Structure 1
Amino acid sequence: MFLALWPAPDERAQLVHYQQQWTWPRESSPITADRLHLTLHFLGTVARERVAELAARLQVPTTVCELCLTRAEIWPRGLAVLRTSEPPAALIELHVRLAEALRALDLSVETRRFRPHVTLARRAAGASPPAEPPRLHWRIGSYCLVESVPGAGGGYHVVRHYG
């Protein structure tokens, strides 16, 4: 399970359009449109009997803001990402509040610095972004608790939408 920003249809369309402008190596694995998101916190495996409790207790105040995704990068291990140069203060505050809520539920919280990004593809070493720098604007005012569904027919299932 994880907590994420889930793009509205317009934002998703912008992300997909930008993703399609890249030149991907044959071995790359672009993320499908229905899986594009920005992870706030990764929770890992959660016991089924705890899901309802988590869903009820992960509501935190959010402030509407705009996230500007302006940097395309290839990270180590061939991860192609789209990120912001300057995360809005409201997004950082949301991340902090959710971390506090997770700790109150005795769940571990990632210790690495929060680097908000959308993963566009995996195994993308050698990919070429479009010549024009990205300028995607995403209105943030909500987040989701998401379950990763294993198996061949798997995907992501939004358990609860907040905001």
Structure 2
Amino acid sequence: MSGKPATTRLFLALWPEQGIRDQLAQWRDAWRWPQGAASVPDDKLHVTLHFLGNQPSERVPEIMQGLAVPFAPFRLSLGQAKLWPHGIAVLEPHMEPDELLQLHADLAQALVALGLLPEERKYRPHVTMSRRAPNAIAPTDGPLIDWEIQRYALVESRPGNGGYAVLKYYT
């Protein structure tokens, strides 16, 4: 009797170095969180580019190779705290750099070439600060985070409390 084929839950992200991660954590800690809010741990702070979902584990090497796309390094300036519907607290960029939008589009084409479907909704770059925070109070201002983007990552989301693991950096 055979079970279901093994799968790996994947996403593409801008994955911060420690200095940027520390600044993101400072922003997160500046919010006033309601009881029951689920703040994102420091090691999970990132900007998602594309969510790939559960993929057959046997395809991971092919997916890794197929997602290598050239891109121009760019600066992402984060500093707008927002509360989205359904209690999602985020930090958004002041503007969406053209290079970020091009990287997102190029990765969408790479996903299609791999037979995967990118999400259809409009891309809204952000760092999730917390979930289940409908009455959170966002800081009115904070330090501008100037993040020099030199790479992106293919990340595995491990089930349960397994956290995230970067499978590959692309430069």
Superposition TM-score, scaled by structure 2 size:
0.92
| Higher share in strand | 2
1:99 aligns with 2:108: yes
Structure 1 77/134 Cα, relative in aligned 2: closer, same or farther at 3 Å?
A: farther
1:49 aligns with 2:58: yes
Higher Rg of the two aligned structures: 2
The answer to whether the Cα contact below 8 Å between 1:71 and 1:134 also exists between their aligned partners in 2 is no
| 1:29-58, Cα deviation, whole Å (9 max, x unpaired) | 100000001000000001010001011111
Equivalent positions of 1:105-116 (< 5 A) are 105-116=114-125
What displacement does 1:136 show? 1.4
The answer to whether the Cα contact below 8 Å between 2:91 and 2:127 also exists between their aligned partners in 1 is yes
Cα RMSD (Å): 1.0
Q: Which segments of 5 or more consecutive residues in structure 1 lack a partner in the other structure?
A: none
Q: Among 21, 26, 45, which residue is 1:17 paired with?
A: 26
Q: Among 135, 141, 147, which residue is 1:132 paired with?
A: 141
* In 2, Cα distance between equivalents of 1:4 and 1:82: 15
Cross-structure match for 2:170: 162
* In 1, Cα distance between equivalents of 2:140 and 2:66: 44
* In 2, Cα distance between equivalents of 1:150 and 1:63: 33
Q: Among 67, 79, 88, which residue is 2:88 paired with?
A: 79
Q: What is the letter of the counterpart of residue 74 of structure 1?
A: L
Cross-structure match for 1:123: 132
Once the two structures are overlaid, the 10-residue window that deviates more, 141-150 or 124-133, is 124-133
Q: What is the letter of the counterpart of residue 67 of structure 2?
A: L
Q: Among 134, 158, 164, which residue is 1:149 paired with?
A: 158
Percent identity of equivalent pairs: 46
